Amino acid sequence: MKWKKIIPFCLAAGLCVGAGIRIWAVNYNRPEVETVIYPMGEVVDLGDDYFYNPNDKCSDYDIKVLSAEVLPVDEYLEKYGLIREEVWGEDEVLATTVYEVTVWLRNNNTDMENDTQNIDLVNMQLTTNRDIYQVDHELLWALYPQLDQSTYAFRVAPGTETTVHLPYTDLKSMRLSIDEIKNRDTYLYLSMYPTKRMVEIHPDN
C-alpha cells in the first residue's frame, strides 16, 4: 500500500516543479528594466513609459522637479494657512513631517477632444533605501480644493503647464528627525516600465 502514499507526494512534487519552470520562463522572457536617474531642474519627457499598466502612458507630458523641502507638520500647515482639523479631521494626526516636492508639468497635447492622459499620483512615490512615501491626498486636496477627489490622478489642461506642490508625509512610527530624512538618498519615481525613470531629490532647507 506504500504506492498509495507515494502517488500524492509525486503529484505535489510535480506541480511544484511545473510552477517553478513557469515562473522561470516568465522571468527569463521579461526584458531587463533600464534605470535612468535625472537631476532636479531637468525636463523629463515621459514618452511611452508607465508605472504598471501600459494603458496609463503619459506620453503627452513633460515633468521637471523644481525644488524640495522638509518641514515639521505644524510649520507646513502655517506656511499654507491650513488647519489640522480641516485637513485630517478630528482623528489623531500620525504625520510629523512633510517632505514637499514641487514639480512643473506640461501637457503637450493640443487636441481637446482626445485628452485622456493624466499623472498617476498613487505610484509617483518618494523613495529611499528603506522607506517609501506616497502623496498625502488629504493634504493635497487641502492645498488644491478644486481637484477631483474621486480619483488619485492629476490632469493638466491640453497645451498648458502648471506648478504643483506634492506633499509626502513622514509618520510618527518611523521616528526620524528632519536631518535624518533630509540626509537620505531620496528619489521621485516617474515611471517603472519599460524604463524606470526617477529624479534624485535634494531638499533646499
pLDDT band for position 27 (50/70/90)?
very low
**Per-residue model confidence as pLDDT tens digits over 58-112:** 888 999 999 999 999 999 999 999 999 999 988 777 788 999 999 999 999 888 7
Task: Determine what percent of the chain is predicted with pLDDT higher than 70.
Answer: 82
pLDDT at 171: 64
pLDDT band for position 163 (50/70/90)?
very high
**Per-residue model confidence as pLDDT tens digits over 105-136:** 999 988 877 788 888 888 899 999 888 899 99
d(CA 187, CA 151): 24
Given a cut of 50, is residue 23 above it in pLDDT?
no
Higher pLDDT, 39 or 6: 39
Helix H or strand E segment including 90: none
Q: How far is CA 142 from CA 88, 138, 155, in A?
A: 9, 6, 17
Strand order from edge to edge, sheet including 95-107: 44-45, 61-72, 95-107, 161-171
> What's the rounded mean pLDDT across residues 160-184?
86
Question: Model pTM greater than 0.85?
Answer: no
Asked whether the beta carbons of 133 and 86 are under 8 A apart, the reply is no
pLDDT at 11: 44
d(CA 47, CA 181): 31
Q: How far is CA 123 from the centre of its chain?
A: 3
Selection from 147, 167, 166 nearest residue 155 by Cα: 147
- Burial of residue 157 (CB within 10 Å: 0-12, 13-18, 19+) is exposed
Helix H or strand E segment including 204: none
d(CA 16, CA 156): 49
Asked whether the beta carbons of 198 and 188 are under 8 A apart, the reply is yes
Please give the mean pLDDT across all residues of the chain: 83
> What's the rounded mean pLDDT across residues 151-156?
83
Q: How far is CA 71 from CA 79, 164, 169, 184, in A?
A: 10, 17, 10, 15
